[in-house]
Chains A and B, each alone.
Chain A
């Protein structure tokens, strides 16, 4: 180490940041650009929030929106406070949850094509919803929401156990997830064939929509997603180590088994909550982290918060679009996401090497 202070080392390092800039987590890359990007995202979310409150079956100008927020006597007040504000809050929370869950899933499995559905979350929730409808006769949204969350959790625990629990590798997790998903869909189809009422319940639930926001328990949902997000963001550093392979991570002092348990639990709460309230919304968790990584590079300190914000912005945008394109009706956000996300996914897969397990 005697050669440590040789002058030639300084210039390439100084390109990023002066050596004195102590508290920056990643001083060597284009930090400035990434901070700007975060501000742009926050601004975009602010604009989309206003649009989401203003636009719908009945469009409002800003004056009406303001009246709707502040004047209980106005016509707009019930629309804004009872329908559009909860819907906007839910869209933001669910989008952030799905974006972060997708980024965590991809980091944890080192598989750029992983998404939270890989843990069986969506199928688990669907299976629980048809169970509640068929065996217990529950059909309303508020009755099935708890079941959906429990189903998502059970499916993801089952996937983890089938993959070998502590010995689970990314490849085994993917296979176990596929198995659980297949079994779950077989069960859902069987119930639906036997019982038309379940089919009807599922028909609305399974496309993914924010339309039930006004009856959803918004505060608990936001609390759960907020708490799980805080945990998820703290996983950035160990996930950076895990990105170098399980062996390297072990050498650096990360226990991959402990990290996977923490990751799966966090993803389950995030994606399970979003799915329980909105139904399965595909492609957000898959596509958002992909786009984000192209901009931020592979450092999870940036990928995770960016994926959260981008997920929130994307889901809100697709929901607003869905409300505009078919006025006075609307296209569910899950369908808009699939219409946008599907072709993008095909583009990703065809572009270049994507699978690296």
Chain B
């Protein structure tokens, strides 16, 4: 594997005495759209939190560009690594443009306030997510799908080559899920390295270029979806008997759970 911009090395992750993962080593490949998947409580969100430096490993380390992420200034990290958490909060009455503009935080300082460059980047981020015409609307008036695009625009305004997204499609209906995933795919094609936690196996198989399957806090399988989405892996990861067929739309693996698999 070539240089990994972001990696966990022999990390112990958990909350207090509740250890989720032990001796976890994960390399995020550069330029790929990595999707982390697995059953509930498999440790996928915990891994993402660790990669985003929201959770410090009790042993081992998380490396950004080969250096311990916790030894780097957090604002410098924020210029390399953007994060869209699961439930971000939109302040009452904030407009779309104001919210997106807050993504410029790591590029500003006491002596370097709002600039023409900030203005340009915010406009670009809103254009890329197709929310330019919502600029002056209140975020609380928007639909769930629009709101998610606003949040993605805010992270884009951060101008980071790496993007982490924690379950970006949760709470969205199917149309908006696809819309958000198509947007992610576009951002990936434009050259960014994406890491997302997704619930839907078939969406993961269709959009990811690199899959990490987890169970019980450990990585069970890792690789291109075509290679690792097999009936055996799905059985091992999810305890789900299934068949795999080719997705007639995309040619990617499609998981069909067996009829009456459970009582």
Residues of A that sit less than 8 Å from B by CB: 1-6, 8-10, 12-13, 15-16, 19-20, 22-29, 110, 112, 234, 237-238, 240-241, 243-245, 247-248, 250-255, 293, 297-299, 356
Task: Check A248–B97 contact: CB distance below 8 A.
Answer: no
Please report whether the interface of chain A is mostly helix, strand, loop or mixed according to DSSP: loop
Q: What is the distance, in angstroms, from B103's C-beta to the closest C-beta of chain A?
A: 7
Q: What is the distance, in angstroms, from B126's C-beta to the closest C-beta of chain A?
A: 6
Task: Check B98–A251 contact: CB distance below 8 A.
Answer: no
Contact A13 B75, CB 8 Å, known A244-B91, A298-B92: no
- Chain B window 216-258, contacts with chain A (Cβ cutoff 8 Å), 1 for yes, 0 for no: 0000000000000000000000000000000000000000000
Q: What is the distance, in angstroms, from A128's C-beta to the closest C-beta of chain B?
A: 35
Task: Check A244–B124 contact: CB distance below 8 A.
Answer: no
Task: Check B95–A29 contact: CB distance below 8 A.
Answer: yes
Complex-state Cα separation, A19 to B85, whole angstroms: 30
Q: What is the distance, in angstroms, from A55's C-beta to the closest C-beta of chain B?
A: 38
Chain B residues closer than 8 Å to A26, beta-carbon distance: 98, 101, 114
Complex-state Cα separation, A16 to B126, whole angstroms: 16
Task: Check B123–A13 contact: CB distance below 8 A.
Answer: yes
Q: What is the distance, in angstroms, from B125's C-beta to the closest C-beta of chain A?
A: 9
Contact A243 B132, CB 8 Å, known A28-B101, A253-B74, A253-B75: no
Contact A250 B74, CB 8 Å, known A23-B114, A244-B90: yes
Contact A253 B78, CB 8 Å, known A4-B127, A4-B128: yes
Task: Check B74–A245 contact: CB distance below 8 A.
Answer: no
The interface stretch among B35-43, B104-112, B205-213 is B104-112
Residues of B that sit less than 8 Å from A by CB: 52-54, 74-79, 81-95, 97-99, 101-103, 105-106, 108, 110, 113-116, 119-120, 123-124, 126-128, 132-136, 154-155, 158, 164, 166, 190
Complex-state Cα separation, A299 to B105, whole angstroms: 13
Q: What is the distance, in angstroms, from A138's C-beta to the closest C-beta of chain B?
A: 42
Task: Check A245–B88 contact: CB distance below 8 A.
Answer: yes
Chain B residues closer than 8 Å to A255, beta-carbon distance: 74
Task: Check A245–B89 contact: CB distance below 8 A.
Answer: yes
Task: Check A22–B84 contact: CB distance below 8 A.
Answer: no
Task: Check B52–A28 contact: CB distance below 8 A.
Answer: no
Task: Check A12–B136 contact: CB distance below 8 A.
Answer: yes
Complex-state Cα separation, A350 to B108, whole angstroms: 39
Q: Which of B82, B94, B155 has the most CB of A within 10 A?
A: B94
Q: Which of B85, B120, B128, B190 has the most CB of A within 10 A?
A: B85
Task: Check B136–A28 contact: CB distance below 8 A.
Answer: yes
Task: Check B116–A110 contact: CB distance below 8 A.
Answer: no
Task: Check A13–B119 contact: CB distance below 8 A.
Answer: yes
Task: Check B88–A250 contact: CB distance below 8 A.
Answer: no
Complex-state Cα separation, A247 to B103, whole angstroms: 13
Chain B residues closer than 8 Å to A2, beta-carbon distance: 190
Q: What is the distance, in angstroms, from A109's C-beta to the closest C-beta of chain B?
A: 12
Contact A22 B116, CB 8 Å, known A28-B95, A241-B105, A245-B85: yes
Task: Check A252–B95 contact: CB distance below 8 A.
Answer: no
Q: Nearest 6 A-B pairs (CB), nearest first?
A: A253-B78, A251-B83, A247-B85, A12-B135, A253-B75, A4-B124
Chain A residues closer than 8 Å to B113, beta-carbon distance: 23, 25
Chain B residues closer than 8 Å to A28, beta-carbon distance: 95, 97-98, 101, 135-136
Task: Check B74–A1 contact: CB distance below 8 A.
Answer: no
Task: Check A298–B91 contact: CB distance below 8 A.
Answer: yes
Contact A248 B83, CB 8 Å, known A243-B91, A253-B78, A298-B92: yes
Q: Which of B54, B77, B98, B108 has the most CB of A within 10 A?
A: B98
Task: Check A110–B110 contact: CB distance below 8 A.
Answer: no
Complex-state Cα separation, A237 to B98, whole angstroms: 13
Task: Check B127–A110 contact: CB distance below 8 A.
Answer: no
